[in-house]
Amino acid sequence: MIRFAVVAGVVLGAGLMAPSASAQEIQDDQIQDSQIQDIRVKESKGRIAAVGPGFTLKLTRHGITTSMVDEEFGDPGTGNEIVRQVIDLAGRTFRPFVCENGTYTVTSGTFERAWRFSLLERRPAPYPERFHTGFPGFVTPFLGTFDATVTDEAGETLRILISDLAYEARTRDGGFRSTAPIHGFVVDRKGKIRDRISLFGRFRSGPDGATPRYWIEDRGTCHQTADLGWGVPDTDRVVVTGPLLVFPFNSPVVTPGR
């Protein structure tokens, strides 16, 4: 992924909760063709629409709306429960969002997230061990929404709205794939979009992690990297946006036309 908010998404607090050892597991080729097997995103400068297995999401400068059908979220046939969390952002210290038109510090808000595990397996290298410890299985899918009040260098108060999504699965040939999009808007008091976040991570590998390919597509105005402080190679220039990351390792970035 070049994110997981922090699981794509999930540098914010504790890792994902693993289901019981008796929970069933699925592979990508066991999903019926009629089911959505990934996350699809339509993006414009003022609107994001996403569809995944069992959920839809719409993001505009006015807010984030989601719809989720529990019976269709991921694959209920695994026996793994949907995990839901709401993280209160107030009173915490987070890495600021660094964008072309300002640097924004979180003062309050919430990060809501829901996910269902499919396979309880390790992701291939270069995913570091510490990430596996926090997130011990494939999230198929992960649905996160980040809605916060921020201030810029001049003390102006703005709102930041972010969708943090992920879909991880085993491929038919025994490889691994991940789709990890993060999108967001920084909105001023007049309702004008000041900056845009658009980071779309893609990861593919062959059987047993062979020939991994990964990159991030950056179409936004917020660009930053950070050292995760994990003390292991390839975690010192990780692409992030504020406290959220796409992948927990250094990844190449491409910048398609905005």
**Which of the residue ranges 11-15, 16-20, 48-52 would you say has the lowest mean pLDDT?**
16-20
Q: What is the mean pLDDT of residues 12-39?
A: 44
Give me the pLDDT at residue 37, please.
74
SS3 64: strand
Q: Is the pLDDT of residue 201 over 50?
A: yes
Give me the pLDDT at residue 8, please.
43
Give me the pLDDT at residue 208, please.
93
Which range of 17-26, 73-82, 193-202 scores highest in mean pLDDT? It is 193-202
Between the alpha carbon of residue 29 and those of residues 26, 170, 192, the distances in Å are 8, 8, 44
Give me the pLDDT at residue 116, please.
93
Q: What pLDDT band is residue 258 in, cutting at 50, 70 and 90?
A: low
CA distance 35 to 72: 9
Which residue has better confidence, 196 or 7? 196
Give me the pLDDT at residue 230, please.
94
Q: What pLDDT band is residue 13 in, cutting at 50, 70 and 90?
A: very low
Beta bridge partners of 168: 178
Q: What is the mean pLDDT of residues 24-50?
A: 67
Give me the pLDDT at residue 9, please.
44
Which residue has better confidence, 7 or 96? 96
CA distance 248 to 4: 7
Between the alpha carbon of residue 102 and those of residues 71, 150, 223, 243, the distances in Å are 42, 11, 11, 16
Q: Take residue 251 and report the two structure tokens written for it.
A: 């990844």
Q: What is the mean pLDDT of residues 153-167?
A: 98
Q: Where is 199: in which H helix or E strand?
A: strand 193-205
Q: Which residues have CB under 8 Å from 71's CB, separation 6+?
A: 54
Q: Is the pLDDT of residue 16 over 90?
A: no
Write the DSSP string, 69-96: -GGGSS-GGG-PPPEEEEEE-TT---PP
Q: Is the pLDDT of residue 179 over 70?
A: yes
Q: What is the mean pLDDT of residues 161-176?
A: 95
Report the largest interatomic distance among the alpha carbons of the chain, rounded to a whole angstrom.
54
Give me the pLDDT at residue 134, please.
82
Give me the pLDDT at residue 133, please.
87
Give me the pLDDT at residue 5, please.
39
Contact 164, 145 (CB under 8 A): yes
